[in-house]
Each structure stands twice: as C-alpha cells, then as structure tokens.
Amino acid sequence: MNTVYKSLAALALASLALTGCASPQPQPTETPEAHGILRDNELCFINDSNLAVTITWQDKIDGFDGQGELAPGKKFCGQGVGASAYVKFFSGFTTFVESQNVPLLEPHLLFESEDRKTVYASAYYSVNETVNSNVEGRQFSVTRLEDDEWINFEIHIRG
C-alpha cells in the first residue's frame, strides 16, 4: 500500500511541475515596438489650406492630441490600430481616411466616401514615399515618415 501512495505522490508532483504550478514565470508583453507587423499607425493631419477643416477620430484610436476644428497651419495627430478619422471641409464634403498595417504588405492608406462605399484614393507606402491624391476636387499629400513605435503617416490637406 505504501508503494501506491508513493507512486501517486510522485505522479502528483510531476503533473504540478508540468502544469506550471511551480513559481510562475513572467510573460513577455508585446508592444508595437516589438514587431513591425504588430505596430499601430499614427496619422497626422496638417492643414495647409486657407480654411478650417474638422477632424473626427474613430473608434480604433488609442490616443490623439486634438480633435474638432483644425485651423489653417495647425496639426492634429492620432494613434491606434487601423487609425482612422473623418475629415470634413467647410463646404460639407466629408472623406473617411483609414490606415492599415497589413501583414506581408506595405502599410496602406485610403480615402473613402463618408458612407465608406466608394474608395477615392488608395496606396501602399514605403518609408519616405509621398503620394498626392485628388479626392473629389480636394488635394491631399500623404507621406509615410520613418517608423518609430508607430507607422507614421503625415497627411497634408491642401484644400
């Protein structure tokens, strides 16, 4: 009988060791800096036009430094997974701007209609690449800047 108890005790100790009931080891945390494929995006809107526009960040934004009326010469930035915002012009025209960090492809930025049913402009960006877009008569210049903890897009609103 003593042999049965010793065998059960040994089996219990072995299963505890295998299931990690020994002292827990700290788990590494993944951050945007850890892997380029996991990086979030930063969108920075710079108003180079002579009229104010309105920037409204969307639900995937983790943080931003301004929202609402973006006066001429001013800049608003927002960061997050698939960072996106609506840009509304004084005339009432609105475009949806969305960034995507797609695995195995270059980061992507697109301009869509307000209802998101029409794509006005779309491009994949290498670092330091600039693409000029005409969105229903409004001019935008988008540059992917050097990456840091974010994949950085600078969007100049020309009017």
Residue 106 domain-assigned (yes or no): yes
Neighbouring residues of 150: CB distance < 8 A, sequence distance ≥ 6: 32, 39, 40, 41, 42, 79
Residue 69 domain-assigned (yes or no): yes
79-88 pLDDT per residue, tens: 998 899 999 9
52 close to 18: Cβ distance less than 8 angstroms: no
Residue 54 domain-assigned (yes or no): yes
99 close to 63: Cβ distance less than 8 angstroms: no
Residue 33 domain-assigned (yes or no): no
State the sign of the Cα–Cα–Cα–Cα dihedral 153, 53, 134, 46.
Answer: negative
Residue 147 domain-assigned (yes or no): yes
**Which CATH number fits the domain that encloses residue 56?**
2.60.270.20
Q: In the Cβ-directed half-sphere of 104, how many Cα atoms lie within 13 Å?
A: 0
86-124 pLDDT per residue, tens: 999 999 999 999 999 888 889 999 999 999 999 999 999
Overall number of domains in the chain: 1
Rounded Cα gap, residues 65 and 43, in angstroms: 11
Question: At residue 43, what are phi and psi to the nearest 5 degrees?
Answer: -110, 130
8-61 pLDDT per residue, tens: 344 444 444 444 444 444 443 333 443 456 789 999 999 999 999 999 999 778
Q: What is the largest CA-CA distance in the chain?
A: 91
Confidence (pTM): 0.76
Residue 25 domain-assigned (yes or no): no
Residue 117 domain-assigned (yes or no): yes
Residue 13 domain-assigned (yes or no): no
For residue 121, the enclosing domain spans 38-157
